[in-house]
């Protein structure tokens, strides 16, 4: 299992466009991918679940990958988050 913590800097938080990309990319990996904020954790492969977290600017998210290709998935997803959020 790998874990990545990141404070969101985008003024709009984790809004629709980056959330959609995050979900689509997470779905391309066979490992389990979760995202959490404020003590809630959800499946990062489900757009409604990710959108339901309502992540705002200044909040810390925790992204986790577990299973086959977890390292590759974490590298791709964490890189996207750092560059875009």
From the list 2, 15, 32, 56, the catalytic residue is: 15
- CA end-to-end span of the chain, whole Å? 23
Secondary structure E strands in the chain: 2-7, 32-37, 40-43, 60-66
Let me know if 15 is a catalytic residue: yes
Positions marked catalytic: 15
């Amino acid at each position: 299992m790998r874990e990545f913590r990141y404070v969101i800097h985008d003024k709009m938080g984790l809004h629709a466009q980056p959330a959609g990309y995050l979900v689509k990319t997470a779905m391309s990996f066979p490992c389990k991918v979760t995202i959490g904020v404020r003590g809630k954790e959800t499946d990062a492969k489900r757009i409604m679940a990710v959108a339901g977290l309502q992540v705002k600017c200044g909040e810390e998210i925790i992204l986790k990958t577990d299973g086959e290709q977890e390292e590759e998935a974490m590298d791709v997803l964490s890189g996207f988050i750092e560059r875009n959020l």
